[in-house]
Structure 1
Amino acid sequence: MNNIKGVLFDLDGTLADTAPDLVHALNLSLKDRGIAPKSIESLRYAASNGSLALVKAGVPELEEQQQIAIQQSLLIHYQQVNGEKASLFAGFENFLLFLEQQNIPYGIVTNKQARFTRPLLKALKIEAKLKTIISGDSTMHPKPHTAPMLLAAQQINCKPESILYVGDAQRDLIAAQNACMVGAIALWGYLSEDDNPNEWPSDFQFNNVNELHQAFLNKS
């Protein structure tokens, strides 16, 4: 931690709890088709894996073409409800303030498309504080490719090896490793019962944001 000069975060399931909006959008789409709503508790784990994965988790019994149609409807609804129920995970307001006070730049590298990323960050009231916002369509390739990671490193003016990347999915940690960044697993995120974070490439694992914050306090 002593060599960390910048911090980058995944968005869904790491920086922000966006599952309430995503599942709400799914349920609106299901309602359009006369399908019963799904509980957020049963689908929270799938919220990091993209809209189609969320649909497949919610209605695995449907044929793929039906799932794709529901996905397209979900995206339309999500554009309307994006940011309404989402919130930063507990502890982030204090941690981000600490990073600012320490002059440590921070930003986002997410696979979420920019048309959803920017409105969400604006709703969370942190858009202006971020030194970089890299979305899934900001480069030719999304995570786990290194392209978005290295673009973010360039924008916060830090060498990749001095950047801590925090994420809650295996692709996040693979991306960090491939980009030569320090990887940290957000165990508070949207991990499923099938996930085995101990097998993911990482330097740190944190149970909550306060543990992450404390790691920086210990180094200083």
Structure 2
Amino acid sequence: MARASRAVASQHKAAIEAASAKLIRERGPHAVSVAEIMANAGLTHGGFYGHFASKDDLVAVACRRAFEEGDQRWDRRIAGAGGDRQTARRALVAAYLTPAHRDHAAEGCAASALAADVAREDADKPVRPVYREGLSALIDKWLSTAPADLPEAEARRRALVEVSAMAGALMLARATTGDPLSEAILDATRAWLLGEDAAEAAPEPSPAG
């Protein structure tokens, strides 16, 4: 019985984490209540504190989960390239800078979805180090697509610039959704990263980066 209870508690905790990871990416942590998160997880409000000490604690856990989901998506795209770094890079860019990703923040990249909210959090909030760790891991993943003969320092410099360009472009595209400028930002950034004309760098239909 105790083992079954632990299993159920673990399932409930995972459901809360999954629901919160989507909701905070979609609307930001301060626009989502604990009651909403629990309802989306299919649970009652009263059960929250059996799993998390505070909402701040949950936001940090949700942030980590959101980055882990993105990391898994990137792993799949890199693996699909069969070891070809250039193909992997193209796959990541093509999936990231799309109208579909722009319009589905709940399933998308945590780096872009949460940047503005995390920046407003106090320095001692638990989400701050979690976000930094997630972003650092994302940059390291991007480094794996750099040309093999590129010096390490140059590869890292480029990775910092290019990940910043992708995340920043997505944030600006979301802020201008509904205006032609939004897709122009995505097209121009994608073309720049791929070294192509904007008309040639067609996006892949994907809701998540």
Range into which the TM-score falls when normalised by the shorter chain: 0.3 to 0.5
User: Taking structure 1 as the reference length, what is the TM-score of the superposition?
Assistant: 0.36
**Larger strand fraction of residues:** 1
User: Taking structure 2 as the reference length, what is the TM-score of the superposition?
Assistant: 0.37
**Larger helix fraction of residues:** 2
